[in-house]
Structure 1
Amino acid sequence: MAAHDDLMARERESAALAQVAGRLGWDQETMMPRGAADQRSDEMGAIQAVLHERRTDPARGYLLAEAEEEAETEDAQTQAELRLIRRDYERATRVPARLAVALARLTSRAQGVWAEARAADDFAAFAPTLAEVLELKREEAAAVADGGDAYDALLDEYEPGMTAAALDRLFAEMRPRLVALREAALAADWPQVSAHFPHESQMRLAREVARRFGYDFTRGRLDLAVHPFSSGSGDDVRITTRVSESDPFNCLYSTIHETGHACYEQGIDPDYRLTPLGQGVSMGVHESQSRIYENQLGRSRAFCGWLYGRMVDAFGDFGIKDEAAFYRAVNRVHPGHIRTEADEVQYNLHIMLRYDLERALIAGDLGVRDLEVAWSDRFVADFGHDVGRASEGVLQDVHWAVGLFGYFPTYSLGNVYAGCLHAALRADLPDLDARLAVGEPAVAGEWLRERVQRHGGLYLPADLIAEASGAPVSAAPLLDYLDTKFGALVG
């Protein structure tokens, strides 16, 4: 196994450098002064050049081939490591170094351009930069696809084995039931919070909630960002949230969502640290953790009862009379523009909109100059009301600015996976509601750590979820859960 040992030593060094690059990205979103954007672009380009050189180094290919010969009868861990290295090597060698560096530099700069355009509600100010990003992503997709479907090549980076054809079938199954449920839910009356919620009080409660869900602050931290995210793996996993002093749910549920991502990374077997197995296996599986933490656990009737008491302690009277009304307020179904603030019923419809638009962009069927109008037209068709401002429409998400084409569908896949896991979780933990009612969601986190999180990249995504839940992946558990929950809420 000499070749395998040498190969893994190289992989650990590359993984460490990738973590450094991730930390630069975290800093850019949270701490970096605005005037440093151009220099940060050069820094990100430089480190990407080093990483791309290491990933495409012929010596890596030679060691990989030798290790594969050595490991023909080796254990599952070794086989999984080599499978992931082979996949990464083949993808990396198809992308020219100058393209990888150009993308790193451009997307670092584009992030700042997007943030300023979003603040000014000015899509025209961002459109030229987005057009540059799109051009490079099309080139990358064509290189990786190697004659295959360009969008599938981008999607595969985030969800190995997934295709647009499979997503089309999944979304066709989901849409009718979601639309029917939405119509019933929108006709109901829903209470709303109405008070002032001080910034520091929200952050104190957010930190408490993150701890209760199992987030280890000795290996992480909570900061503010325009667009909440989680960053890092192993012993340095950081989360961010955002605060609106009129809407505490934005902060609290963004925190719970990112805590799900972070607990996944913190829960991976320490022996996998800085190896190909040492991070979440796919973004769909990652989203399954954040969505089950946020929704099936965090928005459950039992946990809402506990959270209501803590909200009263922290903020006093905030316009909600009791636990039952609070549960309805947390799960309110309402017309809205923002994906990250969408209720469980409508969230996947937001994803389907983005999925169709980005496929058209990559295929060349939609140009950037027509994107804002296309978004608005589609939003009216899907949701029945106009987009008010660019920041509530085409500029609300950072994903396209940083080149994450193919990423959006993984949010819905995460919801589907979470539905499968939740059904199994409830069957295995019949006293779960009693624990949630006293603010102890970490018991569910322990179940997820054992079934999903500790395995890191050991298994393929669909295989992992099927094994963890005891059934093949299907949208039915999610749709049944939504029908049952919101059917009861709207009578």
Structure 2
Amino acid sequence: MTAFTELMAHQRSTEALSLVAERLGWDQETMMPRGAAEQRAEELAAMEQVLHARRTDPRLAEWIAKAEAPDAAAERAIALIAHALRRNGAVPASLAEELARTTSLAQGIWAEARAKNDVGHFLPMLKRVVALRREEGQAMAAAGIGGGDAYDALIDGYEPGATAASLAAMFAAMRPRLVALREAVLGAPAPKALAGSFPAAGQLALARRAASAFGYDWTRGRLDLAVHPFSSGGVNDSRITTRVVETDPFNCLYSTIHEVGHSSYELAIDAAHHFTPLGHGVSMGVHESQSRIYENQLGRSRAFAGWLFTQMQAEFGALGVADADAFYATLNRVQRGFIRTEADELQYNLHVMLRFDLERALIGGRLDVADIEEAWNARFLSDFDFAVDVPANGVLQDVHWSVGAIGYFATYSLGNVYAGCLNQAMRRDLPDLDASLATGDARPATDWLCAKVQRFGSLYTPAEVITRACGAAPSEAPLLDYLETKFRALYNL
């Protein structure tokens, strides 16, 4: 065997084992009995021990040095393995194992604390998670990852090429227009909200129809319930989850469509890339571009809203709104709210900015975990002009910090920016798209996204894949222009 074939054979098994570990995480959040939490933590720690050993195997450096890439895709794969080796090699095996164990336990404790609105129940575990992630970031920074900055090293694991400074600059460019538009919209008469009860069975049936409208492949996926919706897996097994609130059917429907975007990306990657470093989404920002464009520019469009209106009437009867136009306005209603995942398109990024600044301060040592609730509540009041009522609507609402996903939140907004660019290009290429969406068929859009983004997996860098798809470098301008046009029309501004 050549060095290249040995390298890729080793990587194939590593990729397969990481999918097994991911499946354990999926089971933990969907079907695992509560009493198995400590056992699952040990199982995940054992898997991480095996994976870390494989990802830091001394043979990797030798194979990388000797490998001769037969083509550009192979060259990219080698580069990605080399970068991962630098990251993983900087982290002691004991730290990687302890992170897996601690975050597995923390997820269950977070869920209990959220259900009880008891921040104190979660803080000791959050303190441990933050300390471990800070230690990990510092170890990688010492090896030159993230330009030597611990938080940038953590960001690199989710969005290669991004830094806290570049993300902060993006937010600074976005905030003034978002805040000005929000103030104008909130000063105008609001569309009527849906009222009533929407049974869980009907919501889930409609969620499945919506997923099918976007081309979700049920032969390689499934839909389950979770406290915090997510997608999991890849290659030929990528699963989605949602949640049900019987007074808010949009929560279930749009969580489902959002996760279909993630899952469809994984399932669309060229089979030649399976079980290689190219065989999954290139970054969380690009991943979020898929989920957010499915959810918003497509799923909340006037055309798709017309189809959804008829589907909801068939499932639930009268909805209390006059017609499809009124339903479209209700679907895109801007209102005060605590929850990021339920936020309208206009305010969503403001929720992300709050989290980005707080976790940056946590990793930088400028904010203590003991003070996180007070800091969250003060920032929320400043940004949204009303106070958090209970912790489940504040610092306990997101699962991310419990599972160690620190450095992740900014990729949601980066995904929105990418989605704005992709939507502009897609609408240019598909002038008749709305006619298909009006019939509940989003496949022309999802086929375009597959051809332009999804099938490449990690073959190109995040900036390259968006630039190739759109014909221009990523910019926040298309997203902001889209939001201005949409919400000024909806609110007659």
Is the shorter-chain TM-score for this pair beyond 0.5, marking a shared fold?
A: yes
SS in structure 2 of the partner of residue 394 of structure 1: coil
- 1:159 is aligned to 159
SS in structure 1 of the partner of residue 232 of structure 2: strand
- 2:25 is aligned to 25
In structure 2, distance between residues paired with 1:187 and 1:446: 39
Structure 1 residue 472 displacement after superposition: 0.9
| Amino acid corresponding to residue 106 of structure 2 in structure 1 | A
- 2:306 is aligned to 305
- 1:141 is aligned to 137
In structure 2, distance between residues paired with 1:168 and 1:309: 42
- 1:105 is aligned to 101
Structure 1 residue 75 displacement after superposition: 1.7
In structure 2, distance between residues paired with 1:286 and 1:64: 28
- 1:267 is aligned to 268
Structure 1 residue 137 displacement after superposition: 0.5
- 1:117 is aligned to 113
- The answer as to 2:186 corresponding to 1:186 is yes
- State the Cα deviation string for residues 387-419 of structure 1 (Å, max 9, x = none): 010000000001001111100000000000000
- The answer as to 2:315 corresponding to 1:323 is no
In structure 1, distance between residues paired with 2:169 and 2:369: 27
SS in structure 1 of the partner of residue 408 of structure 2: coil
- State the Cα deviation string for residues 428-486 of structure 1 (Å, max 9, x = none): 00000111011111110000000000000000001110110111110000000000000
In structure 1, distance between residues paired with 2:396 and 2:308: 32
Q: Counterparts in 2 of 1:455-470, with a 5 A limit?
A: 455-470=456-471
- 2:221 is aligned to 220
Q: Counterparts in 2 of 1:368-383, with a 5 A limit?
A: 368-383=369-384
More moved, 139-148 vs 253-262: 139-148
- 1:132 is aligned to 128
In structure 2, distance between residues paired with 1:44 and 1:120: 26
In structure 1, distance between residues paired with 2:442 and 2:389: 37
SS in structure 1 of the partner of residue 157 of structure 2: helix
Gap regions ≥5 residues in structure 1 = none
- 1:453 is aligned to 454
| Amino acid corresponding to residue 151 of structure 2 in structure 1 | Y
| Amino acid corresponding to residue 108 of structure 2 in structure 1 | G
In structure 2, distance between residues paired with 1:444 and 1:180: 31
In structure 2, distance between residues paired with 1:365 and 1:195: 45
In structure 1, distance between residues paired with 2:217 and 2:465: 24
Q: TM-score, normalised by structure 2?
A: 0.98
Structure 1 residue 50 displacement after superposition: 0.2
- 1:48 is aligned to 48
| Amino acid corresponding to residue 444 of structure 1 in structure 2 | A
* Identical amino acids, percent of aligned pairs: 62
Structure 1 residue 376 displacement after superposition: 0.2
In structure 1, distance between residues paired with 2:370 and 2:211: 41
Structure 1 residue 92 displacement after superposition: 0.4
- 1:405 is aligned to 406
- 2:388 is aligned to 387
In structure 2, distance between residues paired with 1:54 and 1:281: 21
| Amino acid corresponding to residue 30 of structure 2 in structure 1 | T
- State the Cα deviation string for residues 361-398 of structure 1 (Å, max 9, x = none): 00000001100000000000000000010000000001
Structure 1 residue 108 displacement after superposition: 0.1
Structure 1 runs (4+) greater than 2 angstroms displaced: none
| Amino acid corresponding to residue 26 of structure 2 in structure 1 | W
In structure 2, distance between residues paired with 1:195 and 1:442: 32
Q: Counterparts in 2 of 1:475-486, with a 5 A limit?
A: 475-486=476-487
- 2:359 is aligned to 358
- 2:488 is aligned to 487
| Amino acid corresponding to residue 298 of structure 1 in structure 2 | G
| Amino acid corresponding to residue 310 of structure 1 in structure 2 | Q
| Amino acid corresponding to residue 34 of structure 1 in structure 2 | R
| Amino acid corresponding to residue 386 of structure 1 in structure 2 | A
SS in structure 2 of the partner of residue 223 of structure 1: strand
- 2:85 is aligned to 89
- 2:9 is aligned to 9
- 2:64 is aligned to 64
| Amino acid corresponding to residue 64 of structure 2 in structure 1 | L
In structure 2, distance between residues paired with 1:440 and 1:478: 24
| Amino acid corresponding to residue 431 of structure 2 in structure 1 | P
Structure 1 residue 66 displacement after superposition: 1.1
Structure 1 residue 321 displacement after superposition: 1.6
SS in structure 2 of the partner of residue 238 of structure 1: strand
Structure 1 residue 143 displacement after superposition: 0.4
SS in structure 2 of the partner of residue 353 of structure 1: helix
In structure 1, distance between residues paired with 2:423 and 2:72: 27
Q: TM-score, normalised by structure 1?
A: 0.98
- State the Cα deviation string for residues 128-176 of structure 1 (Å, max 9, x = none): 0000011101100000111611110000100001011111111110000
Structure 1 residue 83 displacement after superposition: 1.0
SS in structure 2 of the partner of residue 158 of structure 1: coil
| Amino acid corresponding to residue 350 of structure 1 in structure 2 | H
Aligned residues: 487
